[in-house]
Structure 1
Amino acid sequence: LKKIGLYSMSVPQQYGGLNLNNKAKSRIYAELGCDLTLFASVFVQNELICETLKIFGSEEQKRTYLPMLAAGDMSGAFCLHEHACGQDIAAMRTESVKNCDAGFKLNGQKSWVTNGALADLLVVFANMQSKNCDQKVFSHPSANLSAFLVDRSKIEGLNVTKRQNTIGLRGLEIVDLVFEDVIIPETAILGNESSGFDIANSIVGNSRYSFSAVASAFLKRLINVASQHCNKHKSYGRPLSESNFIREHLANLAMHVYILETMAFYIAGHLDSDSNKDFTVEGSISQLLSRKYLREGIVSVMEIFGASATTTDQEFERLLRDITTFSSFMVEDENSDDWLVGYIATSGLAAWAQSKAIDLQPDDYPWHVVKNRWLSNDVYRNTFNFKHYLHEHLHPSLMDACRFIEEVMCKFDHIIRNQLKLKQKDIEEDSFALKRFCDVGCYLFAMLVAVSRASRSYCIGLKNGDLEVYMAHSLCSALKTKSLHALMELTNGVHGPNNEDLMKMKIATAVSHANGYPIVSPLERNW
């Protein structure tokens, strides 16, 4: 890995690195998808350590550490998460006490630190405290968060307390680290004091899309194995590949790969064209779908193999363990899917509210109320006119797919407006509504990138470009159906006849109160 420069992909050339763009790195990460442990190791070094140092490090920090990181002579670890705070990094308990004479003193514990036992250089996040100085400490917790560059060879008081015995990715050293009165100089701070929250969000957010490149490559490998098995084995005198049940599995796997791969390079390309663009939400969507499709993919392939998938002759045991651990590694929180759903939904709603504030102020703009009422009638009668004209920018063979997207976009816009008027800020606490907003947002993004790629491939004459058109059309048709179902449930509300949310809440409450399954046996009698 050192010889071929995999540890230097994010390092500028003046510091001995390759300085690859995001598309090139995504291509390499896809190749590393054959071994998730290998990818995780390279990802941490490049996207979390080198990127942090390159963007937020001082010139002295860059000159000191980037050449050694690029050469592979020094490895790094990203110390962000704690058991007590999960994804709420503003609530972390690790503290950095500032003394005027001695720099900073770190105390606290970090969990799920990849390569933490072996790393030479640590990026550590801690809440800034002031002692014996007239330094200002901000009232909001996130405003106190700072990031530090800790050279392990120059400190004392850092201990490894626990190695996580994960069921998969066993080649990784995932540990808990404890900092006990670790003294670091003032020059160790990254960026400015109290800029740790922005650093964490920027680095973690902009690297999420990389997981979709790896997930697509991993699923490609599963498809290759499954298709070879289906062509080789027969059932009732015919190859398995001629069974429509098997074909459905293979088609779904292929479409999932197409979505993830397209998202990865779509986001990477836009980041290369303008690194200041914020694609955190799109990256979160790709990460959420990666987790979902990886889990579904391994189950589908095991169903194709049947009973033979449960034997140790196959490698499915290791693949299943690796995927399970990798999905957790992607977010490092026990409720990672729920957190991503909430983040995607609330970010999307906030962006909508900011761009269409006029819709939420009917008293100031009464003419807009009339306009929206006409739009409501058109939406429910399916007589609305398309206003985005997607078909004018794509190949004519994708006309129907464009209509599907336009219909979902129009109805989604209308229902967001109604839901925000009805619930206002309370919508942040409505997890059922947020889940549906997230689902529709994910589906729309998937449909848009799919038709964009399919149109390009067909127009420039790429091999199997016609198959990409079929794939994009099939995706848009399926995702339109799912989107409209979710929007219908939002329209009906919690008490609607087709919405089971209220019942689910009552069932969950009963399970919690009973500390388990509350229903008695069907053989019980009350007489």
Structure 2
Amino acid sequence: MQRVARLIARNPRSLQLRAASHATSETPSTSSIATTKMESLLTGDIPVEKRSLTRGLAMNKFEKDFMIYPEYTETDDLRNIEGFVKILQETLERTVDERALEKAGELSPEVLNALRASEIAGCFIPKDYGGLGLTYKDFMKINEELSIDWSVATHTTVSHMVSSLILLYGTEAQKEKYLPAIASGKVRPAITLPVGIGSLTSSAEVHGTSVTGLDGTLMAENVQAYGADKANLLLAFAYVKDASKELNLRCFIIDRPQMKEGEKWETKRDETLGLKAVDVSRVTLTATVTEQSVLGDNGKDVASEALSCTRMPLSAAAVGYGKRVLEDIARIANETESLITPGVTLSAHSHIHRTVSQLSLQLYALESVCYYLAGLLDEKLPVVVDVESALLHRLTRAFLRSTTTALLEILGTRAVDSRELFEKRIRDVATLMAMFDESDTVEQVALATMSTWTSRMGKQSKGYSTLRRLLGAEKTMADLRDPKLQHFIAEHAHPSLQLACQELEHSMVRLDAVLSKLLSTDGKQVQADYQSLERLVHVLENNLVMVCTIARASRSYSVGLRNADAELAWTTWLATERSRESWLHLNELSDCFGLIRLNSSLLKSGRSVLEWGGYRIESPVERNW
């Protein structure tokens, strides 16, 4: 582990930060709830396409700098992190025993010591607070290796979540007290979920507060927490009554060693399907809190950031996990004889090719977006990535679902044999997705995008006459059928990617045309229609994937990376498929009246099933006479 320290010592960079950072933080927020700073960036004089990639694409505005895939500017920096990751990989392979960890129900002392010696908890903490001060790209490469076992990745994600919140919202005194202790491993942090999530009977309130202060007793019962059993530091969310007697969500730092006699910190472990070595529990807490215990000014912002700051580490871990899954599938397919065609292996079957192709392309898209966003954040640019971060999380969840489907389709019953590790990993993925679910992502992404579009473009549609609206509708249909190139994006990419660039630009024109129609006529109806918002978000997701893969493939071929020709082909296929998929969604959205009526009927079906208490449609062979 001394080699690791030497490698980091040779790295002269400190943590690179965006100019769009929170006013009291030293790390950028990726939350989908925009901070005041984010809003000022989006409403300033600088064009929105220079501030937010996805918002700019939605408005059919193009910034050529976004077509440059971010990379390490110094070769030594890349070699340093590669050396760090190599040592980490060897250490984890030597200490991590998936079966033993699951049986023990916790990370072994050997694994914890390996993580502590590698200073994983301090990777993203700035050097000024005792951390390593690594960049986002460095952190993504490290998280790829941590997915050797999802329990290890989840353990480190919880630690990252707590340190990120303290770094972003904490006072200077809180940062100086807790961040060095977390980085060194002396403090083992935990966090509760915002009250009400994960339990219908949970509660957490602060009693005895005064109008001028927050001194009182925090009382929490049956609140779900991650890592609370053996933790000595807890971030707890609770409701506090303000001067008007209204309840406001706040976040408190509970320092376990400083709790008074008679105060309570009790946990009861949840029996989860997977991630058996992760402490998912219900905590009952009674602790004195003061104004010095409060983290941040707005508990809702802190809670939102608590969820969103896990998106990039989890996406990188999913990339590492996906690479391992594909290696396992390739090994088994190349070694296993076919039961259908004698004399050949499974790898000769077309249906195997199809499944592997789909999973590989999804992995390529996820990896491209993950490192693209990490690189943007490392560039110190005043950009906003709230929407992109949420879209990345959607890509991560879709990819993890696909890994499970691929294992089941290719391996059959072997994938669910409890004697195989595949079965354990499938359970781990299912539990992970339940832990880090974000069901409101669609509304957040869609409404944030439409809000920016309206503020920037909406003025152009005011005062339109009926005739002008009819002409505008005809133009919308023309743009959908035959979109015209305006930006000639292909001029900024490798010539082999001309078709992919055209597909991206066609999607941009179509999206802008449909948004113009929707928001000028039926904006309020669309905003309340979940099905329409989901289609819109899917289009935004496709556009983001196209930009990131085009930029990546263009760079890879230009610098002569191995298999770069395959990247060109993969990118062209991805762009073509996703652009055509977006076209179908936008065609549906253009018929906003009919679509809203259809969606309303569909959602009523779901409400009916809930009201009935289940599926109550009679059997097709039932008789009533």
Shorter-chain TM-score above 0.5: yes
Shift of 1:244: 1.5
CA distance in 2, matches of 1:57, 1:63: 10
* Cα gap change, 1:4 to 1:492, in 2 (>3 Å): same
Counterpart residue type for residue 64 of structure 1: K
Aligned match of 2:229 = 117
Unpaired segments of 5 or more residues in structure 2? 1-114
Please give the per-residue CA displacement for 1:51-104, whole angstroms capped at 9, x wherever unaligned.
Answer: 2222332332223222221111111112242236989xxx98533653469833
Which structure 2 residues correspond to residues 339-378 of structure 1 after superposition, within 5 A?
A: 339-363=440-464, 372-373=472-473, 375-378=475-478
Shift of 1:353: 1.6
Shift of 1:412: 1.1
Which structure 2 residues correspond to residues 302-313 of structure 1 after superposition, within 5 A?
A: 302-313=408-419
3-state SS of 1:354 partner = helix
1:416 aligns to 2:527 (yes or no):
no
Shift of 1:408: 1.3
* Cα gap change, 1:509 to 1:74, in 2 (>3 Å): closer
Q: Please tell me whether the aligned partners of residues 96 and 106 of structure 1 are also in contact (alpha carbons under 8 angstroms).
A: yes
* Cα gap change, 1:480 to 1:86, in 2 (>3 Å): farther
Please give the per-residue CA displacement for 1:227-278, whole angstroms capped at 9, x wherever unaligned.
Answer: 1111112321222222211111111111111111111111111112237533
Q: Please tell me whether the aligned partners of residues 476 and 514 of structure 2 are also in contact (alpha carbons under 8 angstroms).
A: no
Shift of 1:11: 2.2
**Which residue of the other structure, out of 297, 316, 324, is the alignment partner of 1:213?**
316
Q: Please tell me whether the aligned partners of residues 29 and 210 of structure 1 are also in contact (alpha carbons under 8 angstroms).
A: yes
Shift of 1:374: 6.2
Please give the per-residue CA displacement for 1:311-365, whole angstroms capped at 9, x wherever unaligned.
Answer: 334222211110100111223xxxx3x32222222222222222212244234x9
1:379 aligns to 2:479 (yes or no):
yes
Shift of 1:451: 0.9
Please give the per-residue CA displacement for 1:15-47, whole angstroms capped at 9, x wherever unaligned.
Answer: 32211111111110111112111011111112x
3-state SS of 2:549 partner = helix
3-state SS of 2:266 partner = strand
Please give the per-residue CA displacement for 1:352-394, whole angstroms capped at 9, x wherever unaligned.
Answer: 222212244234x999868845632531441x32123211111
Aligned match of 1:78 = 191
Aligned match of 2:256 = 152
**Which residue of the other structure, out of 563, 572, 586, is the alignment partner of 1:473?**
572
CA distance in 2, matches of 1:339, 1:391: 35
Shift of 1:510: 4.0
Aligned match of 1:186 = 291
Greater Cα offset, 238-247 or 502-511: 502-511
CA distance in 1, matches of 2:434, 2:320: 18
CA distance in 2, matches of 1:447, 1:109: 46
Unpaired segments of 5 or more residues in structure 1? 131-135
Which structure 2 residues correspond to residues 323-342 of structure 1 after superposition, within 5 A?
A: 323-331=429-437, 336=438, 338-342=439-443
Please give the per-residue CA displacement for 1:458-505, whole angstroms capped at 9, x wherever unaligned.
Answer: 1111111111111111111111222112112222346369x9535534
CA distance in 1, matches of 2:292, 2:425: 44
Counterpart residue type for residue 115 of structure 1: G
Please give the per-residue CA displacement for 1:406-455, whole angstroms capped at 9, x wherever unaligned.
Answer: 11111111111212223222323211111111111111111111111111
Which structure 2 residues correspond to residues 279-318 of structure 1 after superposition, within 5 A?
A: 279-318=385-424
* Cα gap change, 1:480 to 1:450, in 2 (>3 Å): same
1:242 aligns to 2:352 (yes or no):
no
Q: Please tell me whether the aligned partners of residues 164 and 309 of structure 2 are also in contact (alpha carbons under 8 angstroms).
A: no
Aligned match of 1:21 = 135
CA distance in 1, matches of 2:500, 2:460: 29
CA distance in 2, matches of 1:108, 1:196: 16
1:30 aligns to 2:141 (yes or no):
no
Please give the TM-score of this superposition, normalised by the length of structure 2.
Answer: 0.75
CA distance in 2, matches of 1:281, 1:229: 39
Aligned match of 1:133 = none
Counterpart residue type for residue 409 of structure 2: E
CA distance in 2, matches of 1:9, 1:242: 44
Aligned match of 1:456 = 555
Q: Please tell me whether the aligned partners of residues 209 and 286 of structure 1 are also in contact (alpha carbons under 8 angstroms).
A: yes
* Cα gap change, 1:303 to 1:411, in 2 (>3 Å): same
1:525 aligns to 2:612 (yes or no):
no
**Which residue of the other structure, out of 539, 543, 558, is the alignment partner of 1:440?**
539
Q: Please tell me whether the aligned partners of residues 206 and 279 of structure 1 are also in contact (alpha carbons under 8 angstroms).
A: no
CA distance in 2, matches of 1:127, 1:354: 34
* Cα gap change, 1:310 to 1:44, in 2 (>3 Å): closer
Which structure 2 residues correspond to residues 31-70 of structure 1 after superposition, within 5 A?
A: 31-46=145-160, 48-70=161-183
* Cα gap change, 1:102 to 1:281, in 2 (>3 Å): closer
CA distance in 1, matches of 2:614, 2:593: 25
* Cα gap change, 1:171 to 1:113, in 2 (>3 Å): same
* Cα gap change, 1:54 to 1:24, in 2 (>3 Å): same
Q: Please tell me whether the aligned partners of residues 249 and 300 of structure 1 are also in contact (alpha carbons under 8 angstroms).
A: yes
Please give the TM-score of this superposition, normalised by the length of structure 1.
Answer: 0.88
Aligned match of 1:272 = 378
Shift of 1:224: 0.5
CA distance in 2, matches of 1:374, 1:244: 44
Q: Please tell me whether the aligned partners of residues 401 and 477 of structure 1 are also in contact (alpha carbons under 8 angstroms).
A: yes
Counterpart residue type for residue 378 of structure 1: A
CA distance in 2, matches of 1:369, 1:207: 44
CA distance in 2, matches of 1:146, 1:519: 45
Aligned residues: 504
1:222 aligns to 2:321 (yes or no):
no
CA distance in 1, matches of 2:500, 2:417: 42
Greater Cα offset, 66-75 or 106-115: 106-115
1:129 aligns to 2:278 (yes or no):
no
Greater Cα offset, 35-44 or 6-15: 6-15
1:95 aligns to 2:198 (yes or no):
no
3-state SS of 1:73 partner = coil
* Cα gap change, 1:495 to 1:418, in 2 (>3 Å): same
